[in-house]
Structure 1
Amino acid sequence: MGTVQLDVNDDRLTRQAHQALTASRAVGRPWYEPPSFEETVVDWRHEDQAEPKEIWVAEHDGEVTGLAMLYLPMEDNTWLAWCDLHVHPEHRRRGHGSALMDRVVERAKDARRTSLVTEFMVPVDEPEHGYRRFVERHGYTLSNTEVVRHLDLPVPDSQLQHLDSASRPRWAGDYRLETYVNGVPEALQPSLCEVMNQLIVDAPTGEIEYEPESMSPGRYREHLGVERQMARTRLTTVALGAAGEVVGYSDLVLPAGAPTTVFQWGTYVHREHRGRRLGMAIKVENLRRLQADHPERRRVVTGNDGTNSWMVSINEALGFHVVELSPAYQRKLD
């Protein structure tokens, strides 16, 4: 048994790693739709200079049994590293996960990181789940927990109209909403990036401390280019202030390999523009565009810290229901 860094240009091993990843994520989650190999390999082969990644695999008799993806931000939060570790269910409890964990801890230390964070999905009613026990044995402590919710589609037009009518008097006349497919125009990108960079600071994150991110228009366009190669679709609704600047946004992402699933990425309203029901407004508008353009999609998946009462209340009003938990664990590195 050993661990090696994955050569992402080796189609055979990369396909095996993808199979281990999707098999691991599917355990106990009948609703899970795996990403296609084609879109996954585009992501794995992309070299993001602002957040390089290393993919380490465990092997047995020439077969990939598990993998760990290590992310190392270089432009912000440079004391942190993130890892996402998976072992194929047919190869668990044989030391592969521990070998991979030891490897990413070693690599995070080599990169002079002082904290390593990992997240995973567990059932709501299993506080002693095996994934929790595994990371705790490896020195991790629970930092915060996101509640993962699903929204069944389509949401009735009457419900969206009711929520729109309740929020519109609070913002109409001072703001306008616009929706874009696969990225906002370049003129809006600087103010959008400024808003996006604040999300990680304002969202509840428990014991994990973050500084603002450093998304730039150039890096934003780079990400859009990768998404196009992955055949993903991104729907972005923005709230624009009096000067035409972005003051709030909401992103929905439609993966090509998961044909009925939509992922709710960031939703954020700048702190200076809160109290006007803009959060509800941009989410309703984005859902309307989603349902008009993509009636084949059956669910939206989102996650929020349980203490984020503002966003939780919006999601519950839209009809999101609790499905699972995503705890974040942190290990302090010597």
Structure 2
Amino acid sequence: MDAGTESVTIDELEIPTSLDGDTGADFVEMVTMRNRVEAEILGNDDLAPTARELLPFYSDPFAPKRIFLARVGGRIVGRAVYEWQVEEGVRAVFFEVQVASDLRRRGIGAALLEKIESTAAIEHRDILQSWSEHRLPASQNVLHSPTGFGAVERDDPAVQFALAHGYSLEQVDRISRIDLPVDRVDLTERRGAAEKHSAGYAVVQWIGRCPDRWLADMARLHQRMSTDAPAAAIEFTEEQWDEKRMSNLDDMNEAGGRVNLTSAALHLESGRLVGYTDLALPEVEGRPAVQEDTLVLKEHRGHRLGMLLKIANLEQLMRVSPETPRITTFNAEENRPMLDVNEAVGFVPIGCEAAWKKTVRP
């Protein structure tokens, strides 16, 4: 393969244990390229984690990954990340492919995709699933999600790439953002309204590591998150969570310099946690935060706990990190209850994320 006058090479990056040395430098360069690509798509660098933040998650024993890099003249110009679940009987893989904008349409993305697909074939995994980020559609020439909610521009390069290689659009997520601080009087009024519907529940909060007393409950909630969140036709095997896996999540956040802010719903009668929401504060102070999971168990919905938890965590964030300028979040377009909550407190759409799938038949 040739990009201009220089040949393109593809190799697998050994995931480093630290950012020191050659492999550490390659990892940093890869993250820099990743962040540049995403900033060009969305028009901002809000979703630009540091290499230190990302590194622990690439060594997660519960979500293993492999990295393939495309280089031109030693420069990293593309990457493909291949991930799978460790649970038994898993047929699906998850991946992403990104190429520097100045070297697209030269076969680099196709070569990286071929590497992903051949790796999956060797490992007898026949369900290939990927995600791509996009700006909001600005024309009527769109590809609609089969869920009936959300669409992406047909002429978008990532959309054309996916379709050309046999992938079908399965779901569209909305990317939303809220600027901080939020009006505290408005939050107080909305929290009061939510609390009128949530008798029998209380909010518990913590910063950083999950307290030991809640590890088992939070493991149960994370396991349910893997099955209860709207996924359309994207296939996930139910994740197996226990206290060890919860502690591993906290270990990764600490190693990357991230701080999680958690608000959880306590069902007073049972003494169990039945819902939670997480906000991730990045390593660099003053950078935008990312809204992570929000879940209320199906059997406890209808009490406005989602609104209560989201407001409680916004209040906690503004209290402990007043310099945080904004928050970004992702939600399935068909998840109207959560979009209602987000819109009510001030989140506005800034982009979208498409989920793609291809099943390879023998």
- Aligned equivalents of 2:307 and 2:24: distance in 1? 44
Alignment of 1:62 onto 2:74: yes
- Aligned equivalents of 1:190 and 1:132: distance in 2? 41
Q: Which secondary structure state, in structure 2, belongs to the residue aligned with residue 51 of structure 1?
A: coil
- Aligned equivalents of 2:323 and 2:176: distance in 1? 20
Which residue number corresponds to residue 325 of structure 2?
298
- CA offset digits 1:109-136 (Å, max 9, x no partner): 2222121111121011151211110111
- Aligned equivalents of 2:287 and 2:99: distance in 1? 26
Structure 1 residues 214, 29: CA separation in 2 closer, same or farther (over 3 Å shift)? same
Alignment of 1:114 onto 2:126: yes
Which residue number corresponds to residue 18 of structure 1?
31
Q: Does the 8 Å CA contact 2:219/2:245 hold for their aligned counterparts?
A: no
TM-score, length of structure 2 as denominator length: 0.87
Superposed displacement of residue 7, structure 1: 2.4
Which residue identity lines up with residue 246 of structure 2 in the other structure? Y
Superposed displacement of residue 258, structure 1: 7.4
Q: 2:353 aligns with which of 309, 320, 326?
A: 326
Structure 1 residues 96, 250: CA separation in 2 closer, same or farther (over 3 Å shift)? same
- CA offset digits 1:69-121 (Å, max 9, x no partner): 11111116712111021112222222111110110111122222121111121
Alignment of 1:239-278 (within 5 A): 239-241=265-267, 242-257=269-284, 259-278=286-305
Which residue identity lines up with residue 254 of structure 2 in the other structure? R
Q: 1:38 aligns with which of 31, 49, 52?
A: 52
- Aligned equivalents of 1:36 and 1:5: distance in 2? 21
Superposed displacement of residue 184, structure 1: 2.1
Q: Does the 8 Å CA contact 2:135/2:351 hold for their aligned counterparts?
A: yes
Q: Does the 8 Å CA contact 2:210/2:250 hold for their aligned counterparts?
A: no
Q: Does the 8 Å CA contact 2:277/2:313 hold for their aligned counterparts?
A: yes
- Aligned equivalents of 1:155 and 1:299: distance in 2? 9
Which residue number corresponds to residue 188 of structure 1?
214
- Aligned equivalents of 1:179 and 1:77: distance in 2? 36
- CA offset digits 1:225-260 (Å, max 9, x no partner): 111011101001111112321100001111114732
Q: Which secondary structure state, in structure 2, belongs to the residue aligned with residue 170 of structure 1?
A: coil
- Aligned equivalents of 2:218 and 2:287: distance in 1? 28
Alignment of 1:104-143 (within 5 A): 104-125=116-137, 127-128=153-154, 129-143=156-170
Q: 2:258 aligns with which of 232, 235, 238?
A: 232
- Aligned equivalents of 1:49 and 1:28: distance in 2? 31
Q: 2:196 aligns with which of 140, 150, 169?
A: 169
TM-score, length of structure 1 as denominator length: 0.94
Percent sequence identity over aligned pairs: 26
Which 10-residue stretch deviates more, 270-279 or 121-130? 121-130
Q: Which secondary structure state, in structure 2, belongs to the residue aligned with residue 27 of structure 1?
A: helix
Q: Does the 8 Å CA contact 1:35/1:258 hold for their aligned counterparts?
A: no
- Aligned equivalents of 2:14 and 2:315: distance in 1? 42
- Aligned equivalents of 2:284 and 2:127: distance in 1? 33
Which 10-residue stretch deviates more, 256-265 or 147-156? 256-265
Q: Which secondary structure state, in structure 2, belongs to the residue aligned with residue 59 of structure 1?
A: strand
Q: Does the 8 Å CA contact 2:286/2:323 hold for their aligned counterparts?
A: yes
Q: Which secondary structure state, in structure 2, belongs to the residue aligned with residue 164 of structure 1?
A: helix
Q: 1:87 aligns with which of 93, 99, 106?
A: 99
- CA offset digits 1:150-192 (Å, max 9, x no partner): 11111110111111111111113x1111111113212211122
Query: Can you give the 5+ residue segments of structure 1 that lack an aligned partner in the other structure?
Result: none
Which residue number corresponds to residue 312 of structure 1?
339
Q: Does the 8 Å CA contact 2:265/2:305 hold for their aligned counterparts?
A: yes
* Aligned residue pair count: 331
Superposed displacement of residue 313, structure 1: 0.8
Superposed displacement of residue 203, structure 1: 2.2
Superposed displacement of residue 200, structure 1: 3.1
Which residue identity lines up with residue 306 of structure 2 in the other structure? G
Q: Does the 8 Å CA contact 2:176/2:348 hold for their aligned counterparts?
A: yes
- Aligned equivalents of 1:118 and 1:270: distance in 2? 27
Superposed displacement of residue 2, structure 1: 2.9
Tell me how large the CA RMSD over aligned residues is: 1.6
Which 10-residue stretch deviates more, 306-315 or 69-78? 69-78
Q: Does the 8 Å CA contact 1:77/1:210 hold for their aligned counterparts?
A: no
Structure 1 residues 183, 136: CA separation in 2 closer, same or farther (over 3 Å shift)? same
Please identify runs of 4+ aligned residues in structure 1 that moved more than 6 A. Answer: none
Alignment of 1:2 onto 2:15: no
Query: Can you give the 5+ residue segments of structure 2 that lack an aligned partner in the other structure?
Result: 1-7, 17-22, 139-152
